[in-house]
A and B are shown apart, each in its own frame.
Chain A
């Protein structure tokens, strides 16, 4: 299994540009998540999905959109990039059985710089 894969690894955007961060998992996990990690800070949840067709906001959703058309893919869309979105973005997935949940598996991250 490849686990959780993310593309691209690194991207530079100009203010106002748009882009989609790709995330895919091959573990047949129901749950997928997008986090951002700012320098010296913990990760913060942007959006999550509990299954195909179902998404919900996390702690910091403003400026982002997501979709979940398949179990495997969970792309994150930035419509109008702003310098405040400069960060490292991590995608994760898990198979949550019951309310206590299971381990989240993380991708390698996408480093985004908005200038």
Chain B
């Protein structure tokens, strides 16, 4: 069974810092990996989707990398802002699990002014 782990569970940083969120998964037979943002009481917003054949994706201040062989992905946030405060979820789609996404428990990020 695929296990998706996110470290750290919570993170507090001052505004302007660059930071890295980590995601690890136990089964490397994945189609893709997706990073989501979840604001309190809200739904999920997709940030970046990395296909299994790709190594990284970038969107603005966000950069996500994927290393399938080691079962790891990182989400890099440059020049963090208070508006980045949210929970960040990592999810993988396995090649043999139909259409299910396997989610980690998330990293709760607080960026202080």
Contacts and interface: CB of A to CB of B under 8 A. Distances in A.
Given A56-B98, A90-B43, A108-B43, A100 B105 contact: no
Nearest to B103: A42
Contact of A100 (B32, B36, B98): B32
Contacts of A102: 49
Interface in A1-54: 4, 31, 33, 40-45, 48, 50
Interface string B87-99: 0010101010011
A102 B46 CA distance: 11
Nearest to B30: A100
Interface of A: 4, 31, 33, 40-45, 48, 50, 56, 58-59, 90, 92, 96, 99-109
Interface string B1-31: 0001000000000000000000000000001
A99 to B, nearest CB: 6
Nearest to A45: B100
6 contacts: A4-B43, A42-B106, A100-B52, A103-B34, A103-B49, A109-B43
Contacts of A59: 100
Interface residues of B, number: 27
Given A40-B105, A42-B89, A43-B101, A100 B51 contact: yes
B42 A50 contact: no
B45 interface: yes
B104 A42 contact: yes
A93 B41 CA distance: 19
B87 to A, nearest CB: 10
A49 to B, nearest CB: 9
